[in-house]
């Protein structure tokens, strides 16, 4: 970021800015790393001196994607993923902001570690990185972390990784304490006692496979508990990954009651179901487990009606060491930064979702929830952009994956829609 970016003008664009419900032919003018104008009003405004003019020939220009659920291996698991390699994957997928999980080794539960992530990101990553810090010390779910000091260090939210805080009294105090700092509590909703050793969605498929299964109630009970506590404390709450229709019903009710609550979903649970697991394919093993096709369809509807706010990749790099095991012993998690948008476009092509709604869940919605300036194409906003052709066909080849880990459930998948350019602060970071 040493020299200022040259001004940039994207012409002949289909400009989509979900924050203002805009989908129209137009242009985008970028100068000094920020947007000067975007949309129909930017046509024929002339280019700033020395600007690079890029004719995108009808492609979509939208705010760069904000991925609210990225697990990176740095620190502690750099062989799986570094901030640098994750950012390359992000750039390839049109993701201009990664919001990272505190579940690293060590856990991000100290202000000095937040500072470490931010400095490493500044020095090595090509997209923006906003760390979430641990909600509880060591993610043990017992002692609250230093939310004030962590927030001052730069943490944008507080999460407990893939572990739920099971003690309701502690969760209550966390939500209460966080409120003093206007901090957002991001929670993985799974009752570990009810989920038990379950590795699949409870039902016929798991039963035939002979695998221990986790009932949907493991998620719903935790979700309903959390929403009760959010009502009690008036805290700011975000359910990180939901996967069941009943969870969305509880969420819709809570929103209707005026609570400050939101929820997210992984792209996997919108585009895959338990049938995709096939012959014990561990790249499809994740938490929460992939659900039935009926649940998946209900999730898509809840996204369309606005009950679900945010789509994440839930990017979670795992290597051979952790994945090449019998299904029940393999680690959870799939990578997803590079395929987030293309997989999401499947829902648009199937007619289930408007493109604007899809993009809102990946741009302005997470930005609003986290208080980020990006995620919209407003004059003065950071010039973080994705340019994509929503129809261009491509096949995901393992050899072309940028992520250091290759555990994608979409290997060999055919997609319609490909990222052409990714721009962060006015600079092209991909291709």
Partner 1 sequence: MSASIPPAADVYPHRHLLGIEGLQPQDILMLLDRAEAAVEISRQVEKKKSVLRGRTQINLFFEASTRTQSSFEIAGKRLGADVMNMSVSSSSVKKGETLIDTAATLNAMHPDIIVVRHHAAGAVHLLAQKVGCSVINAGDGAHEHPTQALLDALTIRRHKGKIARLTVTICGDILHSRVARSNIILLNALGARVKVVAPATLLPSGIEQMGVEVCRDMRQGLDGADIVMMLRLQRERMSGAFIPSVREYFRYYGLDREKLSAAKPDALVMHPGPMNRGVEIDPEIADGPQSLIREQVEMGVAVRMAVLEALAAHLPTR
Residues that bind partner 1 (CB under 8 A): 136-137, 142-149, 173, 176-177, 179-180, 233
Q: Residue 149 CB, nearest distance to partner 1 (Å)? A: 5
In angstroms, the Cα distances linking 147 to 138, 165, 187 are: 13, 16, 15
Q: Which is nearer to partner 1, 120 or 179 (CB)?
A: 179
Q: Residue 19 CB, nearest distance to partner 1 (Å)? A: 29
Q: Which is nearer to partner 1, 52 or 137 (CB)?
A: 137
β-strands 34-39, 52-55 pairing = unpaired
Q: Where are the beta strands (DSSP E) in 120-208?
A: 128-131, 133-134, 158-159, 184-187, 200-201
Report d(CA 151, CA 171) in Å as an integer: 19
Q: Residue 146 CB, nearest distance to partner 1 (Å)? A: 4
Q: Residue 232 CB, nearest distance to partner 1 (Å)? A: 9
Report d(CA 266, CA 279) in Å as an integer: 22
For tokens 């994750």, the residue is 86
Q: Residue 179 CB, nearest distance to partner 1 (Å)? A: 6
Q: Which is nearer to partner 1, 150 or 221 (CB)?
A: 150
Q: Residue 9 CB, nearest distance to partner 1 (Å)? A: 46
- Take residue 15 and report the two structure tokens written for it: 């400009």
- Take residue 166 and report the two structure tokens written for it: 């099971």
Q: Residue 72 CB, nearest distance to partner 1 (Å)? A: 24
Q: Residue 370 CB, nearest distance to partner 1 (Å)? A: 21
Q: Which is nearer to partner 1, 137 or 209 (CB)?
A: 137
CA angle 382, 360, 72 (to 5 degrees): 70
Q: Residue 138 CB, nearest distance to partner 1 (Å)? A: 10
Terminal Cα-to-Cα distance of the chain (whole angstroms): 18
Report d(CA 431, CA 423) in Å as an integer: 10
Q: Which is nearer to partner 1, 173 or 402 (CB)?
A: 173
- Take residue 337 and report the two structure tokens written for it: 């930064």
Q: How does DSSP assign 15-78, residue by residue?
A: EEEGGGTEEEEEEEEEETTEEEEEEGGGTTS-PPTT-EEEE-TT-EEEEPEEEEEE---TTT-T
Q: Which is nearer to partner 1, 230 or 263 (CB)?
A: 230
Q: Which is nearer to partner 1, 148 or 212 (CB)?
A: 148
Q: How does DSSP assign 372-423, residue by residue?
A: -S-SS--TTSB--EEEEEEEEEEE--GGG--SS----TTTT-EEEEEEEEEE
Q: Residue 96 CB, nearest distance to partner 1 (Å)? A: 32
Q: Which is nearer to partner 1, 11 or 136 (CB)?
A: 136
Give the helix/strand (H/E) hosting 95: strand 95-100
Q: Residue 254 CB, nearest distance to partner 1 (Å)? A: 20
Q: What burial letters (b/e) apply to 377-395, b meaning 16+ CB within 10 Å? A: bbeebbbbbbbbbbeeeee
Is the Cα dihedral 157, 265, 411, 384 positive or negative? negative
Q: Which is nearer to partner 1, 148 or 203 (CB)?
A: 148
Q: Which is nearer to partner 1, 173 or 368 (CB)?
A: 173
- Take residue 21 and report the two structure tokens written for it: 């419900």
Residues 6+ apart with CB under 8 A from 169: none
Contacts of the segment 208-214: beta carbons below 8 A, 24+ positions apart? 209/280, 209/327, 211/327, 211/328, 212/328, 213/289, 214/190, 214/288, 214/289
Report d(CA 158, CA 179) in Å as an integer: 12
Q: Which is nearer to partner 1, 231 or 331 (CB)?
A: 231
């Amino acid at each position: 970021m040493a020299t200022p970016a040259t001004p940039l003008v994207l012409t002949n664009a289909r400009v989509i800015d979900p924050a203002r419900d805009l989908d129209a032919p137009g242009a985008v003018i970028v100068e000094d790393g920020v947007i000067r104008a975007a949309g129909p009003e930017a046509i024929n405004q002339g280019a700033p001196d020395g600007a690079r003019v890029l004719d995108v020939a009808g492609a979509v220009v939208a705010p760069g994607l904000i991925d609210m659920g990225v697990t990176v291996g740095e620190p502690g698991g750099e062989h799986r993923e570094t901030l640098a390699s994750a950012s390359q994957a992000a750039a390839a997928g049109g993701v201009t902001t990664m919001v990272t999980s505190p579940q690293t080794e060590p856990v991000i539960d100290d202000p000095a570690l937040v500072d470490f992530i931010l400095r490493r990101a500044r020095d090595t990553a090509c997209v923006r990185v906003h760390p979430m810090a641990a909600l509880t010390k060591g993610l043990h779910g017992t002692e609250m972390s230093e939310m004030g000091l962590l927030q001052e260090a730069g943490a944008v939210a507080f999460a407990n990784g893939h572990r739920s805080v099971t003690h309701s009294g502690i969760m209550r105090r966390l939500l209460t304490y966080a409120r003093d700092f206007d901090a957002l509590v991001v929670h993985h909703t799974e009752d570990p006692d009810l989920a038990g050793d379950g590795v699949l969605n409870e039902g016929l498929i798991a039963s035939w496979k002979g695998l221990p299964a986790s009932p949907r109630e493991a998620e719903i009970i935790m979700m309903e508990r959390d929403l009760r506590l959010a009502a009690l404390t008036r805290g700011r709450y975000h359910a990180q990954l939901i996967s069941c229709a009943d969870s969305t019903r509880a969420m819709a009710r809570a929103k209707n009651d005026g609570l400050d609550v939101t929820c997210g979903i992984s792209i996997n649970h919108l585009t895959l179901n338990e049938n995709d697991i096939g012959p014990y394919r561990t790249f499809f093993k994740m938490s929460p487990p992939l659900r039935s096709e009926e649940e998946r369809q209900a999730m898509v509807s809840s996204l369309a009606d606005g009950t679900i706010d945010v789509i994440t990749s839930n990017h979670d790099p795992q290597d051979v060491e952790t994945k090449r095991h019998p299904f029940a012993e393999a680690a959870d998690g799939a990578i997803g930064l590079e395929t987030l948008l293309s997989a999401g476009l499947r829902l648009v092509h199937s007619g289930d979702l408007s493109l604007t709604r899809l993009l809102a869940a990946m741009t302005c919605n997470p930005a609003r929830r986290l208080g980020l300036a990006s995620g919209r194409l407003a004059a003065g906003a950071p010039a973080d952009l994705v340019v994509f052709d929503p129809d261009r066909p491509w096949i995901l080849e393992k050899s072309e994956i940028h992520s250091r880990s290759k555990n994608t459930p979409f290997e060999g998948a055919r997609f319609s829609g490909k990222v052409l350019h990714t721009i962060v602060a006015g600079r092209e970071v991909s291709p």
